[in-house]
Amino acid sequence: MPMPPGFRLEAERLDDAAAIDALLDLAFGVARHAKRSYSYRRDVDSVAALRLVARDPAGRLVGTLRFWPIAIEGDDGAVRRSALLLGPIAVEPDLKGQGVGRALMAEGLARAAALGHDLVLLVGDLAYYGQFGFVPAAPLGFVMPGEQPDRLLCRVPGAGGAPIPGVLVSMANAH
Ligand SMILES: CC(C)(COP(=O)(O)OP(=O)(O)OC[C@H]1O[C@@H](n2cnc3c(N)ncnc32)[C@H](O)[C@@H]1OP(=O)(O)O)[C@@H](O)C(=O)NCCC(=O)NCCS
C-alpha cells in the first residue's frame, strides 16, 4: 500500500530531533529509555546516512526510522562481523495502517542494502516484520542478551537465508 498522496520520505534533519523524540514517546511511552534495546543504543550514534523521516503534505514529521550499528561476536568475544539493528520505527498514531510504516521499512532497507549492509536484526513482531523478509533469529544462533529470543528477528544475506554460525549480538562502534 503506497503512502497517502502528498506524504514523502526524506533524510532526517538536525532540527527534527525534538519532533522525533516526541513521536517515540507517543509510540513507546516515556519509559522507553528503560528498555533493554535502548541500553544497546546508549553511547552509540545511529547510522547517519540511514536516518529517515516521513512527512505529511504540510511538512509535519509523522514517521521515523533509524538504524544502529551492531557487532556480531563469537563465543570467544571476537567480533565476527558488523550488522545493523533496525529501529526504533514509529508512525504517528492517527496515521497508523496507511502505509507509512511499510514505506519507511522498504526505503530504509533499500538504503541499507545500497550502503552494503546485508545483515539487519531487529526486536519486534514477526507478524509485522515477516512481510519485509525478516525471520526468527534465535534458530540461526543469534542471541541478544536481555531480549526475548522469539522477538529477535533478522534479515539475512540472500533472500533464501544463508546459514550463519552461532553468534552473540552486542552493541559496538562497529562502523
Ligand atoms: C509498527 C508501526 C511502525 C507500523 O506503522 P504503520 O504505518 O501503521 O504500518 P503500515 O500502515 O505500513 O502497515 C500496517 C499494517 O501492519 C499491521 N501491523 C502493525 N503493527 C503490527 C504488529 N505489531 N504485528 C502485526 N501486524 C502489525 C497493521 O495491522 C496493518 O495491517 P493491514 O494493512 O493489514 O491493516 C506503527 O504501528 C507504530 O508506530 N507502532 C508503535 C511503535 C512500534 O510498535 N514500533 C515497532 C517496534 S520497533
Model confidence at 170: pLDDT above 90: no
Does residue 1 form part of some domain? no
What are the residue ranges of helices labelled H in the chain? 17-28, 36-41, 100-114, 126-129
Given a cut of 60, whether residue 162 has pLDDT beyond it is no
What would the grid cell of residue 5 be?
Answer: 498522496
Q: Is the CB of 82 under 6 A from ligand 1?
A: no
Q: Is residue 13 part of a domain?
A: yes
Q: Residue 128 maps to which CATH number?
A: 3.40.630.30
| pLDDT of res. 8 | 97
**What is the predicted pLDDT for the residue at 173?**
42
* Residue 166 in domain: yes
Q: Output the nine-digit C-alpha cell for 9.
A: 520520505
Torsion of the alpha carbons at 49, 101, 128 and 84, rounded to the nearest 10: 10
Residue 3, domain member (yes or no): no
74 CA to centre of ligand 1 in angstroms: 33
Task: Work out the pLDDT band at 37, boundaries 50, 70, 90.
Answer: confident
Sign of CA dihedral 142, 85, 170, 39: negative
Top mutation candidate among 21, 128, 152, 153 for ligand 1, by most atoms within 8 Å of CB: 128
**Averaged pLDDT for residues 32-53:** 83
pLDDT digits (tens, 9 = 90+) for 89-145: 999 999 999 999 999 999 999 999 999 888 999 999 999 999 999 999 988 888 888
Domain count, the chain: 1
Q: Cα–Cα distances in Å, from 33 out to 20, 29, 37, 53, 88? A: 14, 9, 9, 20, 12
Q: Is residue 139 part of a domain?
A: yes
| 55 pLDDT higher than 70 | yes
Under DSSP, the state recorded for 110 is: H
Q: What pTM did the predictor assign?
A: 0.91
Domain assignment present for residue 42? The answer is yes
Domain with 65 in it:
8-171
**34 inside domain:** yes
d(CA 91, CA 77): 36
Using CA atoms, how far apart are residues 18 and 45, in angstroms rounded to an integer? 16
pLDDT top residue among 51 and 117: 51
Residue 126 included in any domain:
yes
Q: Which of 96, 134, 150 to mutate to test the pocket of ligand 1 (most atoms within 8 A of CB)?
A: 96
